[in-house]
Each structure stands twice: as structure tokens, then as C-alpha cells.
A and B are shown apart, each in its own frame.
Chain A
Amino acid sequence: MSIKILIVAEHDGAKLNPSIAKCVTCARAIDGADITLVVCAVNAAAVAGQAAQLAGVNRVLTIENPANEHALAAVLAPQIAALAGPYSHVFGPSTTFGKDLMARISGLLDAPQVSDIMAVESPTRFRRPIYAGNAILTVEVAAGLKVVGTVRTASFQAAAAGTPAPIEKATVSVEIPQHTRFVSVSAGRSDRPDLQSAARVISGGRALGSAEGFKILYALADKLGAAVGASRAAVDAGYAPNEMQVGQTGKIIAPELYVAIGISGAIQHLTGIKDARTIVAINKDAEAPIFEVADIGLVGDLFQIVPEIERLI
């Protein structure tokens, strides 16, 4: 029996977000998954083309509407809810886009949401982290209910490219609310890799001392082709912008290499990096909790060590 799963595509109008390839892998872990991706956009063609390439996707639906220029949950949720009828599962990524949107869809559908799915045990049974990842809860959704889910992207590999799936236009007849209006977005412009999908991440903490101090991280990151992250303490102190925050309330990442520089390692930070393949810690405090989880640790002055590493590689 096939299980119809709808995945809401996150994109910026031109590019499919890398988190969606991971949502597809999560959905494929459900036996008999029949996967539909839906792209809501003004012009959906480019993004739909990318979505159709993902192995395991059976079809891509596009909902084109000028109101979909910005990804506003209040605007998108009624469109997805109107489309959701035939599907038993509606998934999105645990990004700020997905977390904002999926719970609104859950409310419109009166269907429970499983947040941050990290493993699929059956079509109705999932594992998810709670208490900042200090406990893993297995939950069973009551029989006969639609399942709304957000997928913890760090727990899944990206789906590979496959045979292109068909792309179809979908139309929904819903009233688009006017009560929520996009004003602006100020994104830190960066030529560095995306923090959430980068293979290498260099992160800095409060010990960097200033926004100026972060420059030695940027230099190292550029040499390694790495993304740059930050601890909450560094963001709170204004050394780095909010979109760089890694941890329970920031980004949850799973790079091949994570280098924590001047980060003590509060549990809220560690929950954001525990799926990294290799963790390197550089800190002057030998007792810092980050060393409990680091594969390679170096105790010392980061302002000497970091430039030296940069010279050596």
C-alpha cells in the first residue's frame, strides 16, 4: 500500500533549499512512500525543475500565485492545507521556514505535528529530540490521523539526483489573507558556503572578543572553503549576526568537520553539533565542556593557534 507524503519545498524563488533533499530521504524511510513535492512560488519552473531531480520524488506540484513572492506562513498555509486532503503525511524542514509554516498547517488541518523528526520507525512512529537533545522521545501518532512533521535535517543524508519526476500545475481555491505583509529581509551577504549544508564549519565563541576578532575565523574559513558559525554568546555580544548561531535555538548542523574556537560548549550549543562527523575544539580552558565531545582538542591561545593553522594548511 502506498503512503502519500506531501513535502513543502523551501526555496528563495530561484533555488531549492538543500534541506528539502534531506526531507525526501526522511520521507523515503517510510515504507511504501509515494512522495509529492509542492513548490509555491510566483514562477515555480526553476525550483520545480530542481525538485524533480531528487531521487525518490514521484511528482512535483506547482502552485503559482503572485502572493507567493515571499514565504509567509499565513499566506502559504491555507494553500498547502487545501492541497493536503489526499495525503497522510505533510512534511517540511526544521528550518525557520518550516517551523514557522508547518505548525500553522497543523492548526488548519487539526492534525498533530511531530517536530524535529530524527528517525522514522513506522509510518506513525518517529523519534525526536527533546530537552535540547538530552533525551530522545519515541512518539506514536494516533491511528487515522494525518501526520504533520518537521524534519531534523542534520539526521538525514541528502537524496541523490535521480530520474526526473513529472511536474504538474496545481490550483487551489483559497482566500489569501492580507493581514500579514512582507517588509524586508536583511541577509548577511556572504560568498561562503551555506552554514546548514556546508561540509566544513568553523565556529567562534565569546573568546573571540569582538567582531574584529572574528576576522581570523573568516580567514581560516576561506582557506578551508568552510562556512562560519557562532555560539549564542558571541551573537548576543554582537560579534556575529543571528543567522550564524549554532545550537538548540539556532541552526542544527551536521558537517564533516566542525571546528569550535573559543566556545566553551554549553549543552544548548552541543545539541546543534552532535551529528558532526569530526569535532575539533580550540580553547584556552582545559576544563571547557567542549573537550568532552571533541574528537581532537587543543588547549591554548586561539589568537596564536588559528593564524598558525592557517599558515600550515
Chain B
Amino acid sequence: MHGVNGRLTRPSRYTAAPMKRILVGIKRVVDYNVRIRVKPDGSGVITDGVKMSINPFDEIALEEALRIKERGGAEEVVVVTVGPADCQQQLRTALAMGADRALHVQADGVIEPLVTARVLLKLIEREQPLLVILGKQAIDDDNGQTGQLLAALWNRPQATYASKLELQAGTARVTREVDAGLETLDVDLPAVITTDLRLNEPRYVKLPDIMKAKKKPLDTLTLSALGVEPRVQLKAVNWSPPAQRQKGVLVKDAAELVAALRQKGLL
């Protein structure tokens, strides 16, 4: 248990050798360009035959980790995902982008953010990363929680919505996109960073890299081996389509537009 002043549990015997390592979390989600539809019986959204991709914010997280490594700021980039067997496709894509190795934590059904955060905490104990970079939210459930949950459980700094990340000795200077504008924080390492859209533009995967990625290590673990219980605390009751707006009228020029706004009492 991790209370308000949560302490790390003792390191597991799997603890990896000390190395400047970055752990990147990725999630398999319905592709950004797919138009989502709710099943007529309200039991979910239609995902059969739909294109799946790495969550775009996670792709940015991986790109940032790779750039840090390429600049000499890290020695190894490890990608991790929690989910069913299909997720290995996205891990292979991440390896093709340049990650050194992948960890697949096998889990079926709904994985709530607190479960994902507990899995990541267990992997942190094994991998001892300098930095954990995650997307700020997944574009499927739009929860936006995992990074903050992990930082709380780990009792380490969080810098969410990052649009700039500079590593210094033992600290990171992070610029965050916040409602007021841009906020800059200094955080001691290790820390959790979550990415915003303008942190970088992820690279495209090249064909030879896809071939090379097949030879990179991809280890599969289970929740039970990590000692994480797949708790479901938020029961999905029903899915429904959003209220639709009615298509309005077209006006022909600025004068008609102003007249229409006056008629509605908006001017």
C-alpha cells in the first residue's frame, strides 16, 4: 500500500542493472481517423474491423524518448503495454520506431487506469528508469489519469502536458501547456512526464526497421506474476451516442449573417 507519504516497496529480485533507461507506456487504441459509432444495443462502440494504432500521445512519448537517447541522454528505451495479445502489433511498431525492447503485460477485459499505474510501478521497480514518459491521455477512454496516478503511487514528480523537455544532471526542466499559457517546472529525476501534442512530431516507420524490429526482444508478463489485481471499480453501465446538433441555415453574405444574429438576440 502507498499512503499519502507512500514509500516504494522493496526492489524486486528482477531489478535491472543501473542504466540510463527510459520507460514509455503505449496503448493500442482505435485509430485517430476512425469515426466512432455506438452499438445499437448500447453495449459498447463498434471496434470490429476497425483500424487500431498506437495512441497518438504515446507515439509522441516514444519519439521524445528516442530523441533523448539519440542525443546521448539515455542508453535504452523500453516500451510497455498492458492489454490483450493484439497489443503486440503496436509494440512491434514501437520497436520499429526505435525502441530497444518491449514488455507486454497480458491482460484481457477492461484495464482501469489505477491497474495500469500499478503495473507500471511494478515495472519501474524492475527496470529502475530515469524517466517514465506517457501520453497525457488515451484517445479512446479520454481518462487522462495514468501518469498522475503513477507519480502518486511512486511518490515522484509529475510534469503533465509537456511541450518541451530538457534533461539536466539529476533534473528535468519541463514546459507544460496549461490553461493560462506555458508553465515551466523543474523536477528531480526519476519523474513521470506526460506528453502534449506539440512536444514533437513522431517519425515515420521505415520498412527495413519493421524487419529489424522482429528480432528485438519482446517479453510477455502476466498481471498475476507482477502481483497486480485487475480490479474493476468503475462499471460501464451503458454507451450512448452524443446528442446531435441540427444542421442550420446558410446565409449569403455578411449583412444577412448580422441580421440573423440580431434576430436571435445575439447582437
What is A's interface to B at a CB cutoff of 8 Å? 12, 72-74, 77-78, 81-82, 95-97, 99-108, 110, 112-116, 125, 129-142, 145, 174-175, 177, 179-188, 196, 200, 224, 232, 235-236, 241-243, 248-249, 251, 256-257, 267, 274, 278-280, 282, 291-300, 305, 308-309, 312-313
Q: In whole angstroms, how far apart are the Cα atoms of A235 and B50 in the complex?
A: 30
| 10 chain-A/chain-B pairs, Cβ below 8 angstroms | A103-B113, A106-B149, A110-B114, A134-B35, A137-B238, A142-B234, A181-B186, A243-B181, A251-B179, A309-B254
Q: Is the C-beta of B157 less than 8 angstroms from some C-beta in chain A?
A: yes
Q: In whole angstroms, how far apart are the Cα atoms of A108 and B38 in the complex?
A: 34
* Known contacts A140-B237, A185-B180, A241-B182; 20 further A-B pairs (Cβ under 8 A): A96-B177, A103-B146, A104-B158, A107-B117, A108-B152, A131-B36, A135-B240, A138-B240, A139-B237, A179-B157, A180-B157, A180-B158, A180-B186, A183-B184, A185-B183, A232-B197, A274-B245, A278-B264, A278-B266, A308-B255
Q: A107 and B185: CB pair below 8 A? A: no
> What chain A residues lie within 8 Å of B160 (beta carbons)?
73, 96, 99-100
Q: A182 and B185: CB pair below 8 A? A: yes
Q: B180 and A103: CB pair below 8 A? A: no
> What chain A residues lie within 8 Å of B8 (beta carbons)?
none
Point out the residue from B45, B161, B242 that lies within 8 Å of A133, measured CB to CB: B242
Q: A292 and B247: CB pair below 8 A? A: yes
Q: A137 and B236: CB pair below 8 A? A: yes
In chain A, what residue has the closest Cβ to B117?
A107
Task: Kindly provide the distance from the CB of A247 to the nearest chain B CB, expressed in whole angstroms.
Answer: 10
Q: Considering the complex of A and B, which 10 residue pairs feature the smallest CB-CB distances, nearest first?
A: A107-B152, A103-B148, A295-B248, A187-B181, A308-B254, A107-B149, A103-B145, A183-B184, A134-B36, A112-B233
Number of contacting residues on B, CB 8 A? 90
Interface residues of B in 130-161 (CB under 8 A from A): 136-137, 139-153, 155-161
Task: Kindly provide the distance from the CB of A174 to the nearest chain B CB, expressed in whole angstroms.
Answer: 6
What is B's interface to A at a CB cutoff of 8 Å? 1-6, 30, 35-38, 45, 112-114, 117, 136-137, 139-153, 155-161, 163, 173, 176-188, 191, 196-198, 232-243, 245-258, 260-261, 264, 266-267
Q: B238 and A138: CB pair below 8 A? A: yes
> What chain A residues lie within 8 Å of B147 (beta carbons)?
103
Q: A136 and B234: CB pair below 8 A? A: no
Q: In whole angstroms, how far apart are the Cα atoms of A139 and B116 in the complex?
A: 19
In chain A, what residue has the closest Cβ to B240?
A136
Of B145, B179, B248, most buried by chain A (CB within 10 Å of CB) is: B179
Task: Kindly provide the distance from the CB of B225 to the nearest chain A CB, expressed in whole angstroms.
Answer: 22
> What chain B residues lie within 8 Å of A196 (beta carbons)?
179
> What chain A residues lie within 8 Å of B150 (beta carbons)?
107
Q: B157 and A296: CB pair below 8 A? A: no
Task: Kindly provide the distance from the CB of B260 to the nearest chain A CB, expressed in whole angstroms.
Answer: 5
Task: Kindly provide the distance from the CB of B212 to the nearest chain A CB, expressed in whole angstroms.
Answer: 31
With A103-B149, A135-B242: A249-B197 Cβ-Cβ less than 8 Å = yes
With A242-B198, A257-B261: A100-B148 Cβ-Cβ less than 8 Å = yes
Q: In whole angstroms, how far apart are the Cα atoms of A140 and B240 in the complex?
A: 15
